[in-house]
């Protein structure tokens, strides 16, 4: 029996569904008969009880946007397949060729992707980051290569702030968060609105980096991100994040670009320091953004541990041990497997 499932094993991933559940013939459409997307989009506005075609001739043809498909449970993965084709290495190279020479281009690197490249080329984490930076700058003329460390820390702080606000204002709890956009997309397709309100509204590290890049360097700046999973391509295409990330490459795609270059040995490129996002950061001598810095992790991407530690300190004045889960005041209960655990903060025998 196979231990893993490959994309080629799943037919639905590779071929579009036979038909779309959204009726395209608006002359036969009754008000309320169509399963509307969860988030209002341009496509959703063309399907309402009053025909837009009578008011605006340009709306005579119904159009369904990618964001509508991603939040609709009618078909499984045809939209994702199209998206993966447009968020490719070819798109990455074409985008760089078409940009003006005066435009700034920025590539943000996830720690997980750098770690995988480090293993592939038998390098340390920091060495791999420097060589990747040198490769991208020398081969593609990238202006800046940055680590997602700073953006990740900002995302963690924003998540903590949101949790504290919800807790103090009797907001929607428990707060759900995930570092996997696939999980979020699945929840949006399957859960009802009340359950969806439990999702955290804070942006991911990749989206946070995109917001910083565009704010500090201008909206015309190209921002490309190297991430460990193809699901991040789906996240970049979300309407709420439009314009923050121009192209997402997976670790394997970056690996292929290196192997297909004139010098397939990564260490043959000149190692180059990672950049800061803006000069003001350099004046603050922010070293963390110029190297691959690892802080708490775990299956939740660090959200659980960080929010737990800081909430314990801010709400109850409890300073947990550096190794959070070895602290006797932290009770970890395995629910179904090692991947599904309940974590409680206990004081004097009572859960806080």
CATH number, domain at 229?
3.40.50
What is the pLDDT of the chain when averaged over all its residues? 76
Q: What is the pLDDT of residue 9?
A: 40
Q: What is the pLDDT of residue 161?
A: 95
Task: Give the span between the Cα atoms of 90 and 71, in whole angstroms.
Answer: 27
The sign of the torsion formed by the CA atoms of 197, 200, 201, 203 equals negative
Task: Give the span between the Cα atoms of 18 and 2, in whole angstroms.
Answer: 29
Describe the strand order of the beta sheet including 330-337 as a list of residue ranges.
330-337, 340-347, 350-351
**Which ranges of the chain would DSSP assign to H, the alpha helix?**
11-14, 42-45, 66-70, 78-86, 89-98, 111-120, 125-140, 149-168, 181-190, 193-196, 205-217, 231-236, 251-259, 279-283, 303-316
Asked if the structure places residue 142 within a domain, the reply is: yes
| Domain of 119, in residue numbers | 66-276
Structure tokens at 194: 């009340």
| Lowest mean per-residue pLDDT among 40-49, 231-240, 272-281, 341-350 | 40-49
Cα end-to-end distance, the chain, whole Å: 45
Asked if the structure places residue 54 within a domain, the reply is: no
Task: Give the span between the Cα atoms of 27 and 113, in whole angstroms.
Answer: 50
**What does the pLDDT look like over 273-332, one tens digit per residue?**
999 875 544 444 444 444 444 455 565 678 888 999 999 999 999 999 988 888 999 998
Prediction pTM value = 0.74
Q: What is the pLDDT of residue 13?
A: 35
Tokens 């460990």 correspond to what residue?
Answer: 228
Asked if the structure places residue 122 within a domain, the reply is: yes
Calculate mean pLDDT across residues 260-273: 92
SS3 74: coil
**What does the pLDDT look like over 67-104, one tens digit per residue?**
555 555 555 455 556 566 678 888 899 888 888 777 88
Structure tokens at 25: 């013939």
Asked if the structure places residue 206 within a domain, the reply is: yes
Rg (CA), the chain: 23
Higher-pLDDT residue of 25, 147: 147
Helix (H) or strand (E) holding 139: helix 125-140
Query: In the chain, how many domains are there?
Result: 1
Whether pLDDT at 26 is above 60: no
Q: With contact defined as beta carbons under 8 Å apart, do 175 and 198 qualify?
A: yes
> What does each C-alpha distance from 15 to 12, 77, 91, 183, 201 come to in angstroms?
6, 8, 21, 22, 32
Task: Give the span between the Cα atoms of 301 and 225, in whole angstroms.
Answer: 17
Alpha carbon 284 to its chain's center: 28
| Burial profile 292-312: b = 16 or more Cβ within 10 angstroms, e = fewer | bbeebeeebbbbbbbbbbbbb
Sequence-distant (6+) residues with CB within 8 A of 12 are 76, 77
Tokens 């590539």 correspond to what residue?
Answer: 107
Asked if the structure places residue 85 within a domain, the reply is: yes
Asked if the structure places residue 118 within a domain, the reply is: yes
Q: What is the pLDDT of residue 102?
A: 73
DSSP 176: B
Task: Give the span between the Cα atoms of 217 and 214, in whole angstroms.
Answer: 5
Q: What is the pLDDT of residue 25?
A: 47
Structure tokens at 279: 């000069």
Calculate mean pLDDT across residues 158-186: 88
Q: At 34, give phi and psi (nearest 5°).
A: -115, 135
Task: Give the span between the Cα atoms of 265 and 259, in whole angstroms.
Answer: 7
Asked if the structure places residue 350 within a domain, the reply is: no
**Exposed (0-12), middle (13-18) or buried (19+): which is 29, by Cβ within 10 Å?**
middle
| Lowest mean per-residue pLDDT among 17-21, 154-158, 206-210 | 17-21
Q: What is the pLDDT of residue 71?
A: 54
């Amino acid at each position: 029996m196979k231990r893993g499932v490959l994309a080629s094993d799943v037919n639905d991933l590779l071929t579009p569904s036979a038909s779309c559940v959204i009726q395209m013939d608006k002359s036969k459409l009754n008000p309320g008969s169509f399963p509307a997307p969860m988030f209002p989009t341009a496509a959703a506005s063309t399907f309402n009880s009053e025909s837009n075609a009578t008011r605006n001739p340009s709306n005579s043809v119904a159009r369904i946007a990618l964001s509508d498909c991603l939040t609709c449970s009618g078909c499984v993965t045809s939209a994702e397949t199209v998206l993966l084709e447009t968020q490719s290495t070819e798109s990455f190279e074409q985008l760089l060729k078409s940009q003006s020479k005066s435009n700034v281009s920025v590539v943000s690197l996830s720690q997980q992707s750098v770690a995988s490249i480090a293993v592939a080329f038998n390098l340390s984490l920091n060495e791999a980051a420097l060589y990747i930076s040198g490769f991208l700058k020398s081969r593609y003329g990238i202006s800046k290569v940055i680590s997602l460390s700073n953006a990740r820390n900002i995302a963690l702080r924003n998540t903590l702030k949101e949790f504290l606000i919800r807790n103090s204002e009797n907001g929607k709890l428990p707060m759900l968060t995930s570092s996997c956009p696939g999980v979020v997309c699945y929840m949006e397709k399957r859960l009802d609105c009340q359950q969806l309100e439990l999702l955290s509204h804070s942006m991911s590290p990749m989206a946070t980096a995109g917001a910083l890049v565009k704010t500090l360097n201008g909206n015309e700046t190209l921002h490309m991100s190297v991430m460990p999973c193809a699901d991040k391509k789906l996240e970049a295409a979300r309407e709420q994040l439009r314009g923050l990330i121009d192209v997402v490459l997976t670790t394997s795609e970056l690996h292929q670009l290196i192997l297909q270059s004139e010098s397939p040995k990564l260490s043959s490129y000149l190692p180059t320091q990672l950049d800061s996002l803006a000069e003001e950061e350099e004046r603050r001598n922010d070293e963390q953004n110029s190297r691959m810095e690892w802080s708490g992790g775990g299956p939740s991407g660090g959200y659980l541990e960080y929010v737990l530690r800081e909430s314990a300190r801010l709400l109850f004045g409890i300073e947990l041990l550096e190794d959070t889960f070895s602290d006797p005041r932290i009770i970890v209960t395995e629910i179904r497997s090692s991947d599904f655990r309940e974590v409680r903060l206990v004081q004097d025998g009572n859960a806080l």
